[in-house]
Chains A and B, each alone.
Chain A
Amino acid sequence: MRPARLSAVAAAATVAALTAVTGCTEKGSSTGGERVVNVTSTDDKCEVSKKEFPAGHVELAIENKGSKVTEVYILFPDDRIVTERENIGPGTKQTVTAEVKAGDYTIACKPGMKGDGIRQTVKATGKGAPAKRDPRLDKAVAAYREYVQTQADETLPKAEAFAKAVKDGDIEAAKKAYAPSRIGWERTEPVAESFGDIDPKVDVREDGLAAGQDPATDWTGWHRLEKALWQDKKIGDREKQLADQLITDLKDWQKRVGKAEITPTSMANGAKELLDEVATGKVTGEEERYSHTDLVDFKANVEGAEKAYELLKAVAKENDPALVTELDKQFGALNTLLDKYRADKSSYDFTSYDKVGDADQKELSDGVNSLAEPLSKLAAAVVVK
C-alpha cells in the first residue's frame, strides 16, 4: 500500500505513451517549429502557441512570466499525467519533451503550484511516430504486461478463497488464505498503483486513510480484514460485505491492469519501488502489523522486481555490465537470506515477522539497501541514449 499521492511509477507508467520523456532545460528546439508548443504561464493565464500539433515528439517551451513559481503538466483526458515540470521560477524558461500518441490532451499551468491549474485543451494529430527504441525493450514491455496480467488472473481465485472463508465466518481458514491472496498483487503493485483508485480500496492501512475518512466506514480491503481476523478476532456482517467488495475491486484491477501504460523506464522504476515498499513497510513490520505475514509480501515484492529486471537485463548489460553483475549478486544474496525464513523453498510459509529478532531485521534491512541502491540505477541503464 502506499499513500494517496501519485507514485512515481504511476507517473512514469502513465507516461507510457511516450517512449522517453526527458525533462530538463535542453538545448533549443532542434525538432523544429511545428513540434514546439510555446507555453506562457502567468499568474492568471496559461497561453499556448498552438492547439494542435503532430503526434510523436513534442516539445513544450515554457516561460513563466508570472510572479509565482509555476508548474506545467500535459495530462490525458482522465487527468493521468503524461509529463510534468515543476518548480519553474518567475522569469525562467524550461523545456519539456515527450512522445505522445494521437489524441486529446490537456496542458495545465499551476501558478503557485497548487489546485487544478489553468487549463488548455490541445490535440495531437495524425499517427505520429513514437521515437524508435530497441525492439528488445518492446518485447520486454510486452512480456511484463503479460506477467502483470497473469498475476492478476492467478490472484483472483486465491482472493475468492479468502473471501469465501470470511463469508463462511471461518476465522482460521481466512487467516490461512490471507497472505497467499496478496502475492500476485504485491509482485506487481506499482502497476496497480498507477491507476490511482484501486490501491486505496484494496491495500490501504488504517494510517493511510485520507483526512476526513472514517475508519469505520471508509476503510476497506485486505488490511481492514486482517485487523478483524487477527486483532478483533471476529467476523461480522461488515466484514462479509468487505470481502465481497474486495473481490469486486480486484476484478476491476484484473480487467484494467493489462492496459496499463508500461515503459522500460516505468518497469525499472517499478522494480526499485517494490524494494522501497519493502524498505519502508515490510522491514519495519508495518505492512502486516496484525498478521505479521510481512515476509510473504517481502518475497513477492522481490520476485516482482526481479521479473522486471530479468526482462530488462539484456539491454542493461550492454549499457552497464558492472551494474548487471552487481544486481545479479544482490538479488541472489537477498533471496538466499529470505530462504532462511522458510523451511521449504517452494512454499510461501514464512516465519512470522514478530518472531524475527532485531539483529535479523537489521540484516534484512541491509540486504534490501544493498539491492535497492544499484536497482535505482537500472532505469538509466535502459534509457535509449
Chain B
Amino acid sequence: MARPNSCDIFCAVVDNYGDIGVCWRLARQMANEQGLQVRMWVDDLRSFGKLCPELDVTLEVQTCRGVEVRHWCKTFTVVEPADLVIGAFACEVPKSYVEAMASRHPKSVWLNLEYLSAEDWVEGCHQLPSPHPSLPLSKYFFFPGFTDKTGGLLLERGLLVRRDAFQSDASAQAEYWQCLSLPPRVAGELRVSLFGYENEAMEALLSAWEYGSQLVTCLLPEGRALPQVAAHFGVTSGKAGDVWQRGNLRVHVLPFVEQEQYDLLLWACDINFVRGEDSCVRAQWAGRPFIWHIYPQHDGVHLEKLEALRQLYTAGLPDEAALAVQNMWLSWNGGQGVATAWQDFIAQRVCLARHGVGWSQRLSKNSLALNLLDFSRRTE
C-alpha cells in the first residue's frame, strides 16, 4: 500500500508506566515527525496523565501534542479504521473494529507491537503474519529489538545530537542540577539515578554507597523503589523533595517526571539504574553505564532475557568490563554480592561510558518508527 496517512494505536495499560510510555513515544513520533494523523486509544487515562500532565483525564476525546487521545471504554463505538493500526503488547483490539478493518478497502495494515527482547528467537518471528482465524485479515507481529533483523528501537529525531550537546555543556548541566535543587558537583562525586522495582539487593547497595569511599548522590524518582530507600534511612515514607543523607550517601527524591525530563536525568547522571522496557532503552540512548532491573516473570524466564541483552551489549568489551556488567546486572536481579559487584562495575566506569556512546550510535541506525512505516508500505 501507499505510505499510510493515519494511524490508530491501541494501548491497554497493564501496570506501571511501561506500556503507556512506549505508546506515547510512538504516537508522538508518528504524528510530529512522520506527519500521520494519529489516534491513541488508552484504557487508563489516569496512568497516562502521570506521563502527560496536560491531559484531562475526564475527557473522552482530546488532542495532546499533536495526537488525538481517546478514552478506550468497554463499550467501543466503531469508527473508520486508520490506514495503519497498531495494537500494543498483544492487547485485544475491539472485535467491531477488527471487523471494520477486514471490510475496509484498502485493508488496514494491522500490527501487533510486541515486547522488547534481545533473544535470538525474536528475529525469526519479526514481521510474520498472524492470519485471523475467521476473517480475511492478517495481523503482523512486529518485534522491537537490538539487531538489524528486528524492528529496532524508538528514537526521536535528533535525540543523540541533543544528548551530545547537553553532555558536553557544563553550564547546561549545572543549570539542570540547579533546577532539581541540587548543589553543584564536588570533585569525585558520583551521581546515580535509581529507577527500579522493589529489590532484595537494595539495602546492600545503599549500604555499599553509604560506607563507600566515594560520595554518591542518588536521584530517586518517586515510585516502587522509594519505600525501601526510605526504610534504609529509618523513615516510613518519602515524597518528592525529601533529601536524606548518611555517610557518603545522599538521596534526593524526585517527582515522577515527563519523558523528556527523565531523559535529561539519564544524560546528566554518571550511572543509571533503570527498570522494565522503556527506561532501559532510554538509558542506552543516554550512553552512560546502566544497570537494568528487568520486569520479573514466572519461572525466571526474565533472566534469559537479561542475559540475552547482556551478551549483545557487552560484545566487544574487554573481559573485565564485560564481567563487571554481568555480575552487577545479575546481582541486581535476584543474585548475590551486589556490594562487590558495584565496586567492580564502578571500576570499569570510564570504559563502559565510552562503550555506551558507541553502542547507542550503532543502535540508532535502526529506527522503530521508520521500520513500521516501511513495513506498512510493503504490506498489502
A and B form one complex: no
- Which residues of A pack against B, CB within 8 Å? none
